[in-house]
Structure 1
Amino acid sequence: MFICAFKPKRKHLVFGGLIMAAAICAVCLFSCKGESASVMKKANLSAATNEERVAFLEQFGWEVKAEAVQVKDVVIPAEFSDVYKKYNEIQTAQGFDLSDYHGKQVKQYAYAVTNYPGYEGEVRANLLVYAGNVIGGDICSLTLDGFMHGFKMPSQK
């Protein structure tokens, strides 16, 4: 039986660890962000006025009625329930993260969508706005067994 042992120098271990960490960071930067997140980086997030909120939705191809059908104050919970964790998954997939707003009061603006592809029921665009900027939101149907997704327009079915 033949046994071979070696003891690497500490500086080689540190250097190897730094290279490995840099490689992991590079992989995360290029693969962890989805297409929707990169689209959101290019979007104008200004939402201080009704016109800016409507323009925000129009960036994604949505046509909405001119005025919000509902405006209310919402507090982002300090701790997310399972439901809120799932909702935040929709947000992170499109480049937002509501965990940055734990315990904060935000405005929710709901707009009636008039051009959802292939669907005739009522659809709402919900915007979460903090300090005049969109921090999240969704497009959803108003039926119990409906749908909810990010701002990206789905393809025609």
Structure 2
Amino acid sequence: MENNEKPPEKKKLALNVVSNKEHKGFGAGTIDLSQVACVIIDRGEAYLDVGAMHAKSKVERGIKFSPNKEDVPNGRPCWVVWVAVDRREDGSYYAGVTSCEMLVDEEARRGWKVLPDHVNRLDAALKRKIMLDNIGPEEKAALKKLLIEHNAEWWDRSTDALKEALNA
């Protein structure tokens, strides 16, 4: 390579979707996760935690997770909430919001979650679905407060379905 040549650009990696369709080359069938935020709800407080995308949120670090709820008898409930943001002519809005339950026992360093449920609910958020059936009124209030404080204009443009789900 001569001094005035730029190094070739690296191809950007993205999460591949497995399907029965023929693969069309590098990056085909990928999902763009750049418009998804990760929210943790713990002890009545909702906060952004980008580490949740890779199961490395503040509450998940150092915890060995089991798919058996019985393994975590003293676990406290926590939730990962996937928030997908979309854009239309009048601006961005909270388009898909789904919550995933987990139990965490920090003292025992044990936890419970169902990974396929987390993946399926992430997918549902990307598909602009609202699935908040597994959180209670305190958690809904904390999530609503966070979404409004993060960007009130996005909240105002969000669907009635999201607003109703968080007012229930």
Which bracket does the TM-score occupy, shorter chain normalised?
under 0.3
**Greater Rg over alpha carbons, structure:** 1
Higher relative contact order, structure no. (Cα contacts within 8 Å, ≥ 6 residues apart): 1
Which TM-score applies when normalising by structure 2?
A: 0.24
Higher strand share: 2
Higher helix share: 1
Which TM-score applies when normalising by structure 1?
A: 0.25
